[in-house]
Amino acid sequence: MRFFLISDNIDTQIGLRLAGIKGVVVHERDEVLKVLDEVLKDKSIGVILMTQKIAQLIPNEIRDLKLNASLPLVFVIPDRHGWKGERNFITRYIEEAIGVKISGESG
């Protein structure tokens, strides 16, 4: 199974290409959907990596893939500028899922 990147910037594409991961750079929603459709037809691709900015263009499609498809797995990754989302979102997600506070922070 292979990885494939859908990115909004060339820097992320080049960095992952150096690690052996092929990908494309797109900027518009219709471009993203076209590439995603092509990637989903390729059964050799097991993991799709998307930069956060790209993922924000197609949130419903990503949610549907995560909920309804076993493969490929979809992961949203930060780009060269870092993660622009909520701090400690993984910890909060786990706490909500298991119903137990696991962080040492108050609030």
Digit-coded pLDDT (tens) for 61-98:
999 998 888 899 999 988 766 666 666 656 665 666 67
**Per-residue model confidence (pLDDT) at position 82:** 62
Site of tokens 């137990």: 100
SS3 66: helix
pLDDT score of 8: 94
Q: Is the pLDDT of residue 107 over 60?
A: no
SS3 94: helix
Output the average pLDDT for the chain: 85
**The model's pTM:** 0.76
Residue matched to tokens 């930060």: 78
The fold of 2-81 is Rossmann fold (3.40.50)
- The sign one gets for the Cα dihedral 94, 99, 103, 106 is positive
pLDDT value at residue 100? 74
The angle subtended at Cα 30 by Cα 29 and Cα 36, nearest 5°, is: 90
